[in-house]
Amino acid sequence: MKNQTLENLIAEYLAQVKKATDLLEQTFGTKNILRLWHSKKIPQQGSVTDDVTYELHGIGCSVYLSEVCVDFDYGPDERVDGFDPWRLYMYACEVPRRYKKYTNKDSLEHDFSEFLKKGKAQKISGSTSNLYFMKP
C-alpha cells in the first residue's frame, strides 16, 4: 500500500487527536478534561456524544470515535500534539490496512529512530514529558 510512511502515520494520528480533543472541548468546554476528572466533575469514563466515548488514564485519554480509538497524553502547557512510538503503534494497530508496516513494533521503532535522527521531531527541553513534537 502506498503512503505507509511514518510521516503519514504521525499526521493521521495527530488529525484524529485533534478531532477527539475538539469534540471534548465542544462537550466539556476544554480539550484537557483531566482536571474535571480529578475534581470529580466528570467520571473517569463516559460519553462525549451518542457514538463517542472517553476514558481517562494517568496524564492522558483514550477517545473511542465511531471509526477508531485514539489514545494520547496531554503534554506540557496542555498541548495535545505530542506523540511517541507506543501511541503511534497503538494507532497503527487500529488501522492495520493503512499502516501494516507499523503494526510491527520493531519496524516502527526503527523508522521513528531514523525520523528523530533527521531532526524532524523533538522533545520539549526542560519538560519531563516523554512526548515528541514536530519541529516547526
Count the neighbouring beta carbons within 10 Å of the beta carbon of residue 35.
11
- Global confidence as pTM: 0.94
58: left (phi over 0), alpha (psi -120 to 50) or beta: left
- Residue 2: pLDDT band by 50, 70, 90 thresholds? low
- The per-residue pLDDT for 132 is 95
Q: How far is 113 from 122, CA to CA, in rounded Å?
A: 11
- The per-residue pLDDT for 4 is 84
Q: Can you say how many angstroms the Cα of residue 126 is from the centroid of all Cα atoms in its chain?
A: 21
* Secondary structure class of 19 (helix, strand, coil): helix
Q: How far is 72 from 52, CA to CA, in rounded Å?
A: 15
For residue 101 the three cell numbers come to 508496516
Q: pLDDT averaged over the chain?
A: 94
pLDDT in tens, 35-52: 999 999 999 999 999 999
Q: Which of 25, 89, 38, 90 is nearest to 62 (CA)?
A: 90
- Cβ-contact 85, 36 below 8 angstroms: no
